[in-house]
Each structure stands twice: as structure tokens, then as C-alpha cells.
Amino acid sequence: MKFGSSFFIAARTLLGRHTKPKADILKRASSAIPRREKALSSSSGGMAGAILGIGISLVPLVLVLIVSDGMIQGITRRYMETKTYHIQVALPDGLSDTESQKGIKAIQSLPGVKAAFLERNGTGVAVSASSSNAVMLRAIDPSFFSNPGTKEFLSVVAGNSIPAGNRDIVIGSSLATALKVKLGDSLTLITPNPEKMASDTVSADFSGYSPRLSFFKVVGIVSAGYRDLDALWAFINPEMGTRLLTYPSSAAFFGVKVTNPYANNLGAVKESIIGQLSSLYPDWFDPYLARTWPEIERSLYKSFGTTKSMLLFIMGIALIIAAVNLGSALSTFVAEHSMEIAVLRSVGATDAALKLIFVGAGLITGSIGTFLGLSLGLFISWNVNYLITGIEWLVTIFNTAIAFAGGYPSVPLKLLDPAYYLEKIPISIDFAQIALIAALSIALSAVASLIPASKASRISVQELIRKI
């Protein structure tokens, strides 16, 4: 029996499309068969349940995959574009601006690189008229603020985003709230004195410590969308940063932005940067000074990746259970179609052909369930933000009604808070992963059908005749 013929018979058996003469023969023959083999409709219900089980198990699997990828990219990209960059290259103390600009030009000439910036940062304390707070001082070239990636995630709340003058400072919105300052207010920055840091006068109890005081005017308030980031950042002019941010209380590095930070060639871009800078700075450059964003934010990235893996593992177990359910349904299907198996064997069907028929039935069932599950999962994932909005709306209405009846104020439900998380979930569909899930689901269906197929190949005509 040919391969195509086996699948054709499997499809006709699943759909229950028999010719009338054969149906009449089976009807007469089945009159002597026990009652448990007469209920052919139950096998159809079992196969429909198996299709439904596979489809339902795939919906949350696809939803977790797409939503988790979107959320991870949404969160990590905000960090990359405003804080860590895609690749960082640490610089030694005392590297002149001329030498730094040579490095930036060399990096920007490489394929896959969109932009590179020189940044100096260090810690300090910002003091206002009514409060004080620790800050991360960042001195970056003004072109950083006009970069498309930066502009997408770093919004201007008030004033300007660029500290043009040496006494201008731009701070995060949460920091402005903590310090109780607004545009035009003055801030005092307390930073380490490089001369005192280099001397031996500072004792273990900091009795010889002499900080440097610098005075600034708030010219802008910005927000990266995350409270934790907005509570620390203070941007100053690069020239002023050279004066205040000195070794060993600060660090300098090249921040590099590439075409696609999630592509597999990020490591290759890093290697090309290493090769370029190794020849440009042979006296001090080492490969370990260059790091990609997953290396910089290793703990954050690993945390997201572990959570995603655990969720996918749980959803994968549900898919395996659905495949086992398919095997059980096929076993019932084989028992209830023993007459058809005997007829096929009587006309010369081999054991291999019978196995192929029921493996084909499992593949057809698994493929239909996979198609339905993936389609529904993709549809829900694509509209997940609308779904979240609808859930928020319904829960808020219900909560408002209960609060009104109880006489206390209601609190609207907010599943996504942009101050701590995402305002909306970016939709990221990796069709290669979807294809892998589809292949895995169909393969599990085929494996689950092997035992029922083997059982079908052992049914003999003589055994069936004895039951008649």
C-alpha cells in the first residue's frame, strides 16, 4: 500500500466517509459484535476532544512565548536605549578627548553600528533647598539625546533634554519629585574632590575628606518611563563632566548602538569593535573591556529568561498531556474500527500499512489541533493589549459598583503601570519559534499514535470472525 493511500484511508476513516455498500456490510457484520464496538460515534467524539485538547494546550504556549518575548524586549530595550547601550567599551583614566573621538569614528565606520557616544558617569549627592538625594551623574555628547532610540524612550517632561551650558543640569522626573524642584530651581552637587582622593589625608573614618561643591540650574526634566531610572539620573554638559567626573570616583566608556541588538550577530559586531580598537589602542586595549548588553545586565536578563523558560516548561507539559490524550483517543478509535482493520487485512494490507494508517490519523488529528491552537494563540497574542484593556474596564466597573454599594471609594485596576513596568506590551512574533512549536506538536502527535498503530497491526481476521 502506497504512502498516499494510507493517509487517504486515514482521513476517510476519521471523517467517517464510507461508501454505501461497505457501510451495509459493516452494518450486517456488526450485529454480532459486542455492544462496546457499536458506538462508532464515541470515537469521533474522542478524536474531536483530542483535537480540542491539542489546540487548547497550544494557545497558552503561544501566548506565553509571544507576550514574554515582547515584554522582555520592551523592558530591556528601554534600558539599552537610555542606560546601558547595546555594547559598552570601558576606557582607561586619562584618555584625551582627541583619542576618544578617534575611537568613536573607528567604531561608527563598522558595519552594523548605528551610533557611538562617549559617556562619563559617577556618583554624587544632589542637594536642593528642602531635600537631598544620591544621583548618578552622566556627561554625554548632545547627539545622544537626538538619537532615534533615545528619543523613543527618553521623553521630555519639562524644559530641555540637553544641558547646553556648564551650569545646566537635566534630571529625572522621580528625582525632581524627591528633591521637590522644578524648572529654574538651583541644585548643589556634592562630588569627591580628585585632589583629596589622590592624597593620603583621608582616614578610615573620612575625617580628612573634602568634597567638591558645584552649583547648577535645572533646565530640563526627563523621564525614561521607569521610576527606578528616573530617580537617579542627572545629565550634565560633557565639558563640565570632564571637570567633575574624574578617576577613581567615575568611569568613562564608549556606548555603542547597533542596527539590531536582538540579532544573533551582536557578538560578531562586538568582535569587529574589538579588532578595530585593538589596532587603534594597542597600548592599553584588551578584549574584556568590550561587553554586550546581555553581559552588562546579566542578572536582569537571566531573571527574565528563567521566568520565560519555566512558563514554557509548564505549557510544554500541558502539550504532552494533550498528546497522551490523543494516544488514548486513538486507542479507542482502533478498538471501534476493528472491523475496518480486518477488512483491510483480508484484502492484503500489511502490518506496516496498517500502522501507517493510524499514525497518519494521529498526524492529521495533531495537525488540525496544531493549526487551530496556533491560529487562536496568534490572534489572542496580537490583540493582547486590547484584551488587557477590556479586562481592566470590566473589573473597574465591577469594583466601582461594589464600592458604591459599600460606600467607599473605588480604585481602578491598572495591570500595566508605566512607572514600574510597561504601558503596553510590544508584540514580538518569532515565526521560526512558532514553526518549531508546530513541528514539535505534530511530532508528539505522531509519537503518541505509535502504540495505537501497533495495536491495530495486531488485529487479525480470524480473531474478528470468532467474535461474530
Contact assessment for residue 126 and residue 234, using Cβ atoms and an 8 Å cutoff:
yes
Per the DSSP assignment, residues forming a β-bridge with 159 are 220
Among 8-12, 253-257, 351-355, 433-437, which stretch is predicted with the lowest mean pLDDT?
Answer: 8-12
pLDDT higher than 70, residue 255: yes
How does pLDDT run across 130-158, given as a tens digit for each residue?
Answer: 899 999 999 998 999 999 999 988 889 99
Q: Which pairing describes strands 132-140 and 233-236: parallel, antiparallel, or unpaired? A: parallel
Q: Which of 81, 153, 151, 152 is nearest to 117 (CA)?
A: 81
pTM of the model: 0.67
- Residue 7, CA distances (Å) to 12, 94, 331 in order: 9, 74, 18
Read off the pLDDT of each residue in 370-384 and give the average, rounded to a whole number.
89
Q: Which tens digits make up the pLDDT trace of 394-412?
A: 888 888 888 778 777 777 7
* End-to-end C-alpha distance for the chain, whole angstroms: 27
Residue with the bigger pLDDT between 190 and 29: it is: 190
pLDDT at 101 over 80: yes
Q: Residue 2: pLDDT band by 50, 70, 90 thresholds?
A: low
| Percent of residues, the chain, with pLDDT higher than 90 | 27
The whole-angstrom separation of Cα 156 and Cα 163 is 12
pLDDT digits (tens, 9 = 90+) for 154-201: 889 999 889 988 999 999 999 999 999 999 999 999 988 766 554 555
79 or 465: whose pLDDT is higher?
Answer: 79
The dihedral built from the CA positions of residue 330, 332, 337 and 342, taken in this order, carries a sign that is positive
